[in-house]
Amino acid sequence: MDKPKVVLGVSGGIAAYKACELLRRLTESGHDVRVVPTASALHFVGEATWSALSGNPAGTEVWESVHEVPHVRIGQEAELVVVAPATADMLAKAAHGLADDLLTNTLLTARCPVVFAPAMHTEMWENQATQENVATLRRRGAIVIEPAVGRLTGVDTGKGRLPDPGEIFEVCRRVLARGAGQPTADLAGRHVVISAGGTREPLDPVRFLGNRSSGKQGYALARTAVARGARVTLVAANSELPDPAGADVVRVGTAVQMREAVLAAAADADAVVMAAAVADFRPAQYAEGKIKKRDGREPEPVALVRNPDILAEISADRARPGQVVVGFAAETDEVLANGRAKLARKGCDLLVVNEVGERKTFGSEENEAVVLGADGSETAVPHGPKESLADIVWDLVAPRLF
């Protein structure tokens, strides 16, 4: 079988060297990658590197191998074009349809999904011209990944950093996995809030009540939503997973902190998906010093108090009309009956019910679930990667959006 053809466009930003890692991931996962750098990109990483790593020519101009008409053919044959890093200049050219080198020609001839991963100084990113170019590209169906916040070219930090190449690769993988016939950016223009991980409720400065949630399902929801064009806020509790490219990650520790962060982000959200394992209870008392073991004495019992029920609260009091609220129910027995009762109790639109246990779901790469709808619908999701379940959740959310 022919390998899927991917074009990796590289424009002239300092992060061009990170595209070598993205190229490696794409080739090692079985893609035929044609790197199309701009002339500026070659100031940062030379043609020999792109050509040797990809096994393909890596010219910048339309005047090379003219008999093969590369300015048309490369775009036509691609199943995905990803531009990483995308400079402010490249976003402007793409938004205005300029075609003065091989990459800009390729962008005009591509009929496949196109992903841009911009990277630049914060001022360039926030400039109204850049923002309007990004909005234009998104409106036309391109996936433009929000840059990360962090160290920039010099000593300065801010928004504009290229996300981790491994995470850009994940977005590409998700876009390719959606395949032909499915809309790429069906969540474009939408803001979705996702909670992930497990809250920790401190007993004293060194101990907490926690749970086994790894955050993988919530992170998979964030990645798939980015790959479908959404603006994503990920409220993550105690997860060590890398930040998904393009998601705005808000880190929290406890259920009370999670409530605050989710309510703040949900104010303008089209959908809220509560995938986090939020502790139902927390210790009534927090000991300022470490609780000591006292010779010959039994420990004091730990009194618990209820935590806020975030899912019920946002379901009952929607921040905007038509906001879609999705909950997750982790059950150990009577899975479906308990799920139906929980859906009715919480008042959310969809409830993803899965069975959990020491070796099931928590921390695993795979999941199996039934998605119950408040309208009586029931969607069985067979055993598979957490990203497949995530895509099914978005398939069910998308038509419910106002």
Catalytic residues: 211
Shortest distance in whole angstroms from residue 39 CB to ligand FMN: 6
State the alpha helices, DSSP H only, in 39-84: 41-44, 47-54, 70-77
Shortest distance in whole angstroms from residue 55 CB to ligand FMN: 23
Shortest distance in whole angstroms from residue 242 CB to ligand FMN: 21
Look at strands 350-355 and 324-331 and give their pairing.
parallel
Tokens of residue 236, six digits? 């993550």
Q: Measured from the CB atom, is 14 or 398 closer to ligand FMN? A: 14
Which amino acid, 168? I
β-bridge partners, 274: 195, 327
Return d(Cα 55, Cα 60) in angstroms, integer.
Answer: 16
Q: Which of 16, 12, 47, 385 is nearest to 221 (CA)?
A: 385
- Residue 18 counted as an annotated binding residue: no
Shortest distance in whole angstroms from residue 127 CB to ligand FMN: 10
- Residue 309 counted as an annotated binding residue: yes
**Contact call for residues 351 and 372 (beta carbons, < 8 A):** yes
Q: Measured from the CB atom, is 94 or 266 closer to ligand FMN? A: 94
Shortest distance in whole angstroms from residue 6 CB to ligand FMN: 19
Q: Measured from the CB atom, is 41 or 273 closer to ligand FMN? A: 41
Q: Measured from the CB atom, is 72 or 124 closer to ligand FMN? A: 124
Longest CA pairwise span in the chain (Å): 89
CB proximity list for 370: less than 8 A, separation 6 or greater: 335, 336, 339, 352, 353, 354, 378, 379, 380, 381
Q: Is 340 helix (H, G, I), strand (E, B) or coil?
A: helix
β-bridge partners, 161: 148
Return d(Cα 331, Cα 328) in angstroms, integer.
Answer: 10
CA 321 remoteness from chain centre: 25
- Residue 263 counted as an annotated binding residue: no
Which segments within 284-340 are labelled E, that is strand?
304-306, 324-331
Q: Measured from the CB atom, is 99 or 124 closer to ligand FMN? A: 124
Q: Measured from the CB atom, is 131 or 153 closer to ligand FMN? A: 153
- Residue 346 counted as an annotated binding residue: yes
Return d(Cα 380, Cα 245) in angstroms, integer.
Answer: 29
Q: How many CB atoms lie within 10 A of CB 280?
A: 13
State the alpha helices, DSSP H only, in 140-179: 165-178
- Residue 311 counted as an annotated binding residue: yes
Q: Measured from the CB atom, is 163 or 197 closer to ligand FMN? A: 163
- Residue 389 counted as an annotated binding residue: no
Shortest distance in whole angstroms from residue 227 CB to ligand FMN: 23
Contact positions toward ligand FMN, by CB under 6 A?
Answer: 11-15, 38, 40-41, 87-90, 119-120, 124, 153
Q: How many CB atoms lie within 10 A of CB 305?
A: 10
Return d(Cα 275, Cα 258) in angstroms, integer.
Answer: 12
Shortest distance in whole angstroms from residue 87 CB to ligand FMN: 3
**Contact call for residues 369 and 353 (beta carbons, < 8 A):** yes
Return d(Cα 236, Cα 250) in angstroms, integer.
Answer: 6
- Residue 159 counted as an annotated binding residue: no
Phi, psi of 337 (to 5 degrees): -60, -45
Q: Is 29 helix (H, G, I), strand (E, B) or coil?
A: coil
Burial class of 371 by CB neighbour count within 10 A (0 to 12, 13 to 18, 19+): buried
- Residue 328 counted as an annotated binding residue: yes
Annotated binding site for CTP: 280, 290, 308-311, 328, 342, 346
Annotated binding site: 280, 290, 308-311, 328, 342, 346
